[in-house]
Amino acid sequence: MAENTLQKIHEIAVAEFLEKGFRGASLREIVKKAGVTTGAFYGYYKSKEELFSALVKPHADCVANLFGGLIEQFKNLPKSEWAENMATFSKKGIVQIYEYAWKHKDAFRLILNASEGTVFENFVHDMVEKEIEITHIFYREMEAQGYEPYAFEPTLEHTIVSGEFSALFELIIHDIPFEEGLKCADKIHDFYEAGWQSVLKLN
């Protein structure tokens, strides 16, 4: 019974947050529509913030760990293999992030469209910063190996990296069917990779 009640609270909360965003969502409405008392709700969660976090944090953490793990795997490769493997790892990351996000669409729509006012509102920005960090490490190593990669102005670099992640998550926001979205994710990577290869001059 308690499990069913919690599931009902979650279902109502997802709909309320998606419709109104975190700031606009009413805890009173969630409780009312779920058919539970306020006291019963507080037996599960202490606040609207805690409820929102319960809906999205496990999935945000999973993607962040997945992304971070791929970065560490890449960094652990012999540096002599970095140039030839960067594209492979990049595509692997894009595809795995898409696959996970698609399987947990509601959580990621909440993160992407309804998280303003929560600790999750900078989720994409934080991923962009991680990508820029590893890119700079990669740049320095390529220079050490004799390449002359293009020196990006920070604003342009951030805009380009943000564009790739934004394009990827648009597939989730707009509920593109999985197979179609997977093909799009693959092509999004190829599009940006062609640009990176051009300016990094690794060919």
Q: Where are the domains of the chain?
A: 1-46, 55-200
DSSP H or E run through 67: helix 48-75
Angle subtended by helix axes 82-103 and 105-113, to nearest 10 = 100
Cα pseudo-dihedral 63, 90, 70, 116, rounded to 10: -30
Q: What fold, for 1-46? A: Arc Repressor Mutant, subunit A (1.10.10)
How many CB atoms within 10 Å of residue 192? 19
| Per-residue model confidence as pLDDT tens digits over 1-20 | 567 889 999 999 999 999 99
For the segment 82-96, the average pLDDT, to the nearest whole number, is: 91
Amino acid at position 126, single letter: D
Q: Are 56 and 115 in contact, with CB atoms under 8 Å apart?
A: yes
Amino acid at position 131, single letter: E
| Per-residue model confidence as pLDDT tens digits over 160-190 | 999 999 999 999 999 999 999 999 999 999 9
Predicted local confidence at residue 191, as pLDDT: 93
Instruction: Give 142 or 66, the one with higher predicted confidence.
Output: 66
For the segment 58-66, the average pLDDT, to the nearest whole number, is: 97
| Per-residue model confidence as pLDDT tens digits over 104-144 | 999 999 999 999 999 999 999 999 999 999 988 988 898 89
Contacts of 171-175 with C-beta under 8 Å, sequence gap 24+, read 171/98, 171/102, 172/98, 172/101, 172/102, 172/105, 172/108, 172/109, 172/112, 173/109, 173/112, 173/113, 175/105
| Per-residue model confidence as pLDDT tens digits over 29-54 | 999 999 999 999 999 999 999 999 99
Q: What is the pTM of this model?
A: 0.91
